[in-house]
Structure formats: C-alpha cells, structure tokens
Amino acid sequence: MKLSGRDAARYFTRPDPDRAGVLLFGADAMRVALKRQELIANLLGPNAEEEMRLTRMMAGELRSDPAALADAVKARGFFPGPRVVFVEDAADGLADTIKAALSDWAEGDAQLVVTARQLTPRSALRKLFEGHANALAIGIYDDPPGRDEIEAMLTKAGLPLPDSTAMGALTDLALALDPGDFSQTVEKLSLFKLNDPAPLTPEDIAACAPASVEGEADALIHAVAEGKAAEIGPMLRRLQAQGVTPVTLCITATRQYRALHAAASDPEGPARGIGRLRPPVHFKSRDRMVRQAQNLGVAKLEQGLGLLIDTDLTLRSAQKAPQMAVMERALIRLAMLGARRG
C-alpha cells in the first residue's frame, strides 16, 4: 500500500504496530533518516536499544547471507514489547530476500523497516511494498515540513504552539534550512526557552537560527544600517540563492533595528544600551552596533521599524508583488535613511 501527504505525516506520529513492514525511500538521505528515526521511536518507545528490540542490518550483510533477514524477523527477544528489524540502504537487488521475509511474516514477528534511495515506480522493491496487503511504501520528498509537522516537532520538544507570526517565522526558516539543521534549531529553541514561560517569538527563533543562515543575513542588515545601499543587491542575491526567504530577512532586520532602538534610547548612551541587550550582542558586533545606534538615532530607528512592520505585513498578505523585490526596496529605503545625516 502506498501512503503519502497528510496520511503519511500522521502515520509517522502514530504508526501501526501490526504492519509487517514499511519502506521509506527518497533522494535526500537526511530526510529519509529523520523520518526513519521518528517512525522507529514511535513504534518501539524508549529503551528499545537497551532492551535489544531493535535489530539493525546493512544491505551488504543480506547480500552475503539472505536467510539472516527472515531469522531476525522471527527471532524472539528476552524483553517483552514490539520489535523492529531495520534494513538500511536497500535496493532492488534485495527485493526477493525482503519478499521472502514479508511472505513468512506472522503476528508477533518483528516489523520490517527498510530505507532506500530514490526509487522509480518500476522499482521491484517499491512494487513489493506498494502491492503488499500488510506493508506500506512512503516516499520522502524534498518538500519542507508543513504546519502539522512543525507543530508535532514543537510538541515533541516540549514547546507550546506559537502564534501565527512566530509560526510564520518557523515556516520560513524550514524553507531555508535542510531538515537536520531545522530539527537542531527546534531542539535549541527548547533549551533557549527552558525556564522562560513566555510564548515563542520571532526574535527567539532568529536568535536560535544557525549561523550559516543568520551570519550572512546579519551582514546584510549591518550594511543596511550603515547606509551601504550599493552592497544590498549582490548580498541579497547570494542569500536568495541559499534559500533565505524575504520574511526571514525582515525578521532579522526587525530584530536588529529593535536592538539598535533600545540602545539609542538608553539614558546612559548607546554603548551602555548595547551592553544591556538580551541575548547579549556578539563581541565582534558590539562596536559596530554602537556606531549604528549613534548615527541613526531614536527618530530614524523608529521610522525604520515602522517601515519594517509595514513590509512584514505586505509580505504576509495576499499581494502579488514579488516578495524579494518588496524586501529589497525596503532595505534600500532603510539604507538611504541611514546614509542621511541629521
């Protein structure tokens, strides 16, 4: 049987323990591995490794000893509970071996979880699982996680579901990152908010985003705050090529302009204000941001924040203008604001 879309997403969170086997296949090995981990964890629960209820087998092992798979599926463990035999990196050459194990499967046997690279509809392995009455085939594609998947990840990490603005920021980040980096970001958020009962905010998300995305985005916003309009286009093109979205850039810019506004408003001056910011500003950016706050001043920073709020609303609306063009125009206007004296 073939499973896809929301049915597949729901299955990973609540898998059927009475299935004979599940095939997961896809071009991105990381995406397949993450889904396999989720599936096995939800099938077996905690302590499966310690209780030897999970048997791992490489495809190469089975080519030299085909009978080992059926033996592993039939084996009875010392500890009670469901069992899984996991076969990694299978290909069509193992179709007959896996078919024999599935044909002989009976209630109480270990469930067979098989992962593979991208398989065409003609693949013998794929046809085997799709045509089996008690097995599933699930394709793992390069689509970013949807809202349901992100909510499930947040719940698993012990984070409350955020409002629409923060959820939008997470969705944009999921578009910009590969699955492993996004999963790590959610874990980092759970630690970041461990003793903080306040709802998740876009600023929290931006603070926990990986440096690979955040670093270049921050460099762009520094250039904007310093009035370097000529640098915006080339930097924006590089970020766009990396998959960074306009909403992510707007969140990054808003976060920095709010920090600059807080510093510029400090009664003891911008330098003291930068030092009070939480989370702390990286030491490499401190002097630079002090100069930006001094140059822009409270009035210009308030103008800039107003522009960014309007831009964010435009980006999240149903308007048809190209979003990156909207963001680029806003950044140029901010840079012009920073370049003007007085």
Quick one: CA torsion of 139, 127, 100, 77, rounded to 10 degrees? Answer: 20
CB 82 within 8 A of CB 111: yes
For 287-301, what is the mean pLDDT?
92
Q: Is the dihedral of CA 190, 191, 192, 196 positive or negative?
A: positive
Q: Rounded distance, CA 254 to CA 222, Å?
A: 12
* 14 C-beta neighbours (distance < 10 Å), count: 9
DSSP characters over 149-215 = HHHHHHHHTTPPPP-HHHHHHHHHHHHHS-HHHHHHHHHHHHHHTTT--SPP-HHHHHHHS-HHHHH
Segment (H or E) for 59: helix 59-64
Please indicate whether residue 217 or residue 175 has the higher confidence score (pLDDT). Answer: 217
**Distance between CA atoms of residues 329 and 307, nearest Å:** 11
Domain 147-339 is in which class?
A: mainly alpha
Angle between helices 232-241 and 211-225 (to 10 degrees): 160
Reported as a single tens digit per residue, the pLDDT across 78-122 is: 888 899 999 998 999 999 999 999 999 999 999 999 999 999 999
What is the pTM assigned to this prediction? 0.53
H-run or E-run covering 136:
strand 135-139
The domain ranges of the chain are 2-139, 147-339
**145: cis peptide before it, omega within 30°?**
no
Q: Report the distance separating Cα 330 and Cα 194, nearest Å.
A: 35
Q: Sorting pLDDT into bands at 50, 70 and 90, what band is 203? A: confident
**204-208, 269-273, 306-310 — which is least confidently predicted?**
204-208
pLDDT tens, position by position, 37-81: 999 999 998 888 888 899 999 888 898 898 999 999 998 878 888
Q: Does domain 2-139 have CATH number 3.40.50.300?
A: yes
* pLDDT at residue 278, as a whole number: 74
Say yes or no to pLDDT of 195 above 80.
Answer: yes
CA distance 301 to 295: 10
Pair of tokens at residue 203:
């600023």
pLDDT at 224 over 90: yes
CB 187 within 8 A of CB 151: no
**pLDDT tens-place string over residues 156-176:** 888 988 888 888 888 877 876
Say how far apart CA 296 and CA 257 lie, in whole Å: 10
**DSSP string over 14-30:** S--TT-SEEEEE-S-HH
Tokens read off for 234:
């080339």
SS3 category, 110: coil
